Amino acid sequence: MSERFGARLARAITARGPLCAGIDPHPGLVAEWGLPADASGLERFALTAAEALAEHVAIVKPQSAFFEAYGAKGVAVLERVIARCREAGALVLLDVKRGDIGSTMAAYAEAYLSEGAPLAADAVTVSPYLGVGALEPAFATAAEHGRGVFVLARTSNPDGRAVQTADAGGISVAQSIVDQLAERNAGAEPVGDVGVVVGATNVPGELRLAGLNGPILAPGFGAQGATAEDLSAVFGTALPAVLPASSRDLLRAGPDPASMRERLRGVQAELRRITAGAPWGEVGAGRPASG
């Protein structure tokens, strides 16, 4: 791909809005849909969700672990889901949360970010807790191929707090991660290619996101408890950079595709209500976000 991920993302969100639709074939949801707990049930679940949602959102986020649990057959389904979402015009953010050092991190980068790889996505999630510098192979491979990277910063799980809010020289570990990524995004237009993951259920004002110049993936929206108003409170003036992620809230409306699309329209309407007058792309236009 010759065009940078940040530019493609900004254009997609301008056209379709900021919601990130998760495709998480959780065993409980597969069972709720009346599908068998095998690769055939996984395929019907995931492809039905992709066909119902991908045409109407800017970005889709499959959770890789739920596919990997079925072995080679599950990974093959994931390949088809990625292809189907792209055919529908959505970007694909593959939620893999990989993080390692040296040649191992380089191998992960090749698997998910290099051109022609079977599981290549438009962007991936990665973990920085072996050091942000250890992620350099992912940053480099993503930049080479016009793809993006979303780095865990302040996740919504309670057990993450002790590590992520620990002191890192006068600022929290999470803030240190945000600041390092802001340096990578400096000067990028309309927005940088490196994003952060910050839970929508976190404490308002816990992080300063000024100058990130990149997207903020916000899991926890919808079924996990965060409302549209919570997004406004947690992210403040950084809200125009936020990609609220919702999966169970949408998928529980299945297996009927029309019901999922109806639920999707309702969620998108809520997001338009709180972001009125502040289009997503404004963050990349030189006005730094803060939160």
Cβ-contact 41, 67 below 8 angstroms: no
Predicted pLDDT at 210: 77
Mean residue pLDDT across the chain? 92
Is 66 exposed, middle or buried, given 0-12, 13-18 or 19+ CB atoms closer than 10 A? Answer: buried
Contacts of 45 (CB under 8 A, 6+ apart): 25, 29, 30, 33, 35, 254, 255
> pLDDT tens across 18-32, in order?
999 999 999 999 999
pTM attached to this predicted model: 0.94
Q: Is the per-residue pLDDT at 186 higher than 80?
A: yes
Using DSSP, state whether 189 is helix, strand or coil: coil
Q: Is the per-residue pLDDT at 255 higher than 50?
A: yes
| Residue 282 pLDDT level (bands cut at 50, 70, 90) | low
Q: Is the per-residue pLDDT at 284 higher than 70?
A: no
Fold of the 5-209+223-277 domain? TIM Barrel (3.20.20)
| 82 vs 122: CA distance, rounded Å | 9
User: Biggest alpha carbon distance in the chain?
Assistant: 52
Active site residue 73: no
Per-residue pLDDT, averaged over 62-80, amounts to 98
Q: Is the per-residue pLDDT at 289 higher than 60?
A: no
- Which has the minimum average pLDDT: 126-135, 165-174, 188-197, 198-207? 198-207
Phi and psi at residue 93, in whole multiples of 5°? Answer: -105, 105
Question: Distance from CA of residue 160 to its chain's centroid?
Answer: 18
Predicted pLDDT at 224: 67
- Which has the minimum average pLDDT: 18-32, 41-55, 257-271, 273-287? 273-287
3-state SS of 104-129 is HHHHHHHHHHCCCCCCCCCEEEECCC
Total length of the chain: 291
Predicted pLDDT at 278: 58
Predicted pLDDT at 2: 73
Q: Is the per-residue pLDDT at 223 higher than 80?
A: no
Contacts of 74 (CB under 8 A, 6+ apart): 39, 42, 66, 67, 68
Choosing from 11, 16, 97, 252, which is the catalytic residue? 97
Which amino acid, residue 35?
L
Cβ-contact 109, 142 below 8 angstroms: yes
Cα dihedral: 146, 99, 124, 173 (round 10)? -100
